Amino acid sequence: MRIQESKNFEIRNDISKSQVTKKKKTKSINMERTKFDFLYQMIWITPALAFLFIFSYYSIFIVFRNGFNSASRPILNFEFSFINFKNVANDASFQIALRNSLLYSVVVIPISLTFSMTTAKLLSNVLNKKLFSFLQSLFFLPYVTSAMAISMSFAFIFSPDNYGLINQILLALGFDKVDWTSKSNGIILVMIYGVWRSLPFEIIMFTATFLRIDKRYYHAAAVDGVPKWKQFWKISIPRAMPMIVYMITTGIISSFKVFPLGLFGSYEGAAQANAQTVVFYIFDKVNASSTSPSYGKGGAASIILMTIILAITIVNKFITNHLSKKYR
């Protein structure tokens, strides 16, 4: 009996040892696979990381180096200073550019939101699927068109000469032609272009937002005799509020990134019409063919622009979180 029990104990001991050995082998194999998977994944993402570091992070480093550098030879030497920021702040051209970007935000964003929400609401009520797809593609097509081509088309349409399409229409109606590149109308031309350019994306986004709203809200409101316009303000707008805040935020960011190069042949042409923007100002300072190039001013203006956009993004985060809780 004792002999049999000792044999059984030895057998169980051997089995447990073999199980432990198998677990160790399995664990080592899994660790090797994990290491191999990590190396395999790194091989795939290394080109993307290289492009990211070269064209993004290194570019950011160059911008900060130029912005805070006051050396006489900025490419070879570095002297930390805030003089470039002072020069940019005192530059009358930058002040006009910043004013135009702010004015662009105040005017273009409300107008584009009004048109896009109205169009999106009408588009979301279209029941015919083929007609809906056609209209959706029609509104979205300008968004995928080259921005430079659209700008050049606008420059031709709003040409101050008699052959400009808008001036031809005005002359045919008995009105005088308008100089769209004058100091009083240059920024208006940029804003008209901005409204038209921002509509396609906003219409698509608001259409998707309105389609996600539960139809039972509208049915209940219709039963209670609530008119359509009131349903829009009481049902559609509150439930689309997070998207509205998002569009306002992205609109403000886009306003500070407007680059009307196609509307005007050069920065000097935009400056003559008082239609320069912050990005156009930066482009002029880092462009070797510019009449007054300055990498220091370009870097300082870029940092100022980045700070403004960063502040807007932070404010948007708090507003979006608040509205998400309120209209959950």
Highest-confidence range of 93-97, 128-132, 175-179, by mean pLDDT? 93-97
Phi, psi of 301 (to 5 degrees): -65, -35
- The predicted-structure confidence for 178-205, as pLDDT tens digits, reads as follows 888 888 888 888 888 888 888 888 888 8
- The predicted-structure confidence for 216-252, as pLDDT tens digits, reads as follows 888 888 887 878 878 888 888 888 888 888 888 888 8
Tally the domains of the chain: 1
Alpha carbon 22 to chain centroid distance? 54
Highest-confidence range of 9-13, 56-60, 137-141, 258-262, by mean pLDDT? 56-60
Residue 150: its pLDDT value, please?
A: 79
Residue 111: its pLDDT value, please?
A: 92
Average pLDDT over residues 134-147: 73
Residue 62: its pLDDT value, please?
A: 87
Average pLDDT over residues 15-32: 51
Do 105 and 249 form a contact (C-beta atoms < 8 A)? Answer: no
Output the domain CATH number for residue 298.
1.10.3720.10
Residue 175 lies in a domain: yes
For the chain, the maximum distance between any two Cα atoms, rounded to a whole number of angstroms, is: 122
Whether the per-residue pLDDT at 9 is higher than 70: the answer is: no
Average pLDDT over residues 253-277: 83
Residue 288 lies in a domain: yes
Residue 89 lies in a domain: no
pTM of the model: 0.74
Residue 301 lies in a domain: yes
Residue 270 lies in a domain: yes
Whether the per-residue pLDDT at 19 is higher than 60: the answer is: no
What's the rounded Cα separation, in Å, for the pair 255 and 308?
A: 11
Whether the per-residue pLDDT at 95 is higher than 80: the answer is: yes
Residue 114 lies in a domain: yes
Domain hosting residue 210, numbered range: 107-327
Residue 147 lies in a domain: yes
Whether the per-residue pLDDT at 17 is higher than 70: the answer is: no
Do 182 and 273 form a contact (C-beta atoms < 8 A)? Answer: yes
Listed range (85-99, 129-143, 205-219) with the worst mean pLDDT: 129-143
Do 64 and 303 form a contact (C-beta atoms < 8 A)? Answer: yes
Average pLDDT over residues 314-328: 72
Residue 113 lies in a domain: yes
Residue 3: its pLDDT value, please?
A: 47
Whether the per-residue pLDDT at 11 is higher than 50: the answer is: no
